Amino acid sequence: MLKFILKKLLDLIPTLVGISILSFVLIRLVPGDPVMLMLGERGADPIVYAKMQKALGLDQAMHEQYFTFLKKAFSGDLGTSIVSKRSVTSEFFSRFPATLELGICAIIFAAIIGIPFGILAALKRNSFYDYLLMGGSLVGYSMPIFWWGLILILFFSVQLGITPVSGRISIMYDVDVVTGFMLIDTLLPKNLANEGIGPFLSTLSHLILPAIAMGTIPLAVMARMTRSSMLEVLGEDYIRTAKAKGLPIKKIIVVHALRNALIPIVTVVGLIFGSIITGAILTETIFSWPGIGKWLVASINARDYPVIQGGVLFIATMIVLINLVVDFVYAIVNPKMR
């Protein structure tokens, strides 16, 4: 097992180096020069331009810039943002909890609704419900997040007025941020004493729409996965035996079938998490959610190279690590995999 883990960890290195080169080169291939974007028409003066370029370290050749970046990255320094002039690492970690909190809520939303839908569809196979749920999940899967988010806002916030349009917490409250997870922070004794339960409820109501927007695609995936996995399990001998023994159908489904059917779904959650982070880029922009997705979009617009390189590397590492954990879990469950 140790050997397996070590091998997997070593495999990580070329993957991450590959990703770092890709993100490094790709953003530089996008037209638009950060110096020019900062200076605009004023950058036409070659002296001003050169001064700025040098200050940003962009006067070196691309490979030199890359090696400087790599060298620093190994010592844990991902560079300094061109725009904010603060360290990319600290900028990342100040935003990451927001994305994580939203991602977890989206997955919970997807699981709470997607799994029962999948079970229902499997039990009522080829019935009207099955077609409705599976058709619905196909629609959900194909929905562009950008459009879906706006529809949600228009309906729930503007039309019905039951949810806030965007943001993370009402501006009325002053909450001391400790962990960065608002749901936790608002319940800390000090904040509870100052502001009461209001901030917590406000955070929750701000979470609903973005979590739905972000969770819709994972919901569809989970419903379809549950359905097929459930169908497979329902056809197994032990279920037939249980049925023959006269066990109540509810017990058969919950205790015997579901438990086994969920194993592949749990492993898929890891993969869904990757798609959640990419979904964050769109969701956060629509809902003004202060996470890394919105941060990356703003940085791409400003051609803030260090942030894009560092941010992409962080996200890639995160996804690779999650996949690694999934692999381990799989290896534990199924020793043949080793």
> Which residues of this chain interact with another protein, rule CB under 8 A?
31-33, 35-36, 38-46, 48, 51-52, 55, 80, 83-86, 94-95, 113, 150, 153-154, 157-158, 160-172, 174, 177, 198, 201-202, 204-205, 208, 285-288, 290-291, 294-295, 297-298
Which CB, 94 or 278, lies closer to another protein?
Answer: 94
Q: For residue 271, give Cα distances in angstroms to 44, 53, 104, 264, 316.
A: 47, 40, 13, 11, 13
Which CB, 87 or 275, lies closer to another protein?
Answer: 87
CB-based contact 107:269 (threshold 8 Å): yes
What residues have CB less than 8 Å from 27, skipping those under 6 apart?
Answer: 300, 303, 305, 308, 309
Which CB, 20 or 53, lies closer to another protein?
Answer: 53
Q: Is 10 exposed, middle or buried (0-12, 13-18, 19+ CB in 10 A)?
A: exposed
Which CB, 222 or 242, lies closer to another protein?
Answer: 222
Which CB, 242 or 280, lies closer to another protein?
Answer: 280
Q: For residue 4, give Cα distances in angstroms to 7, 223, 255, 331, 337.
A: 5, 33, 33, 9, 10
What residues have CB less than 8 Å from 92, skipping those under 6 apart?
Answer: 78, 292, 295, 310, 311, 314
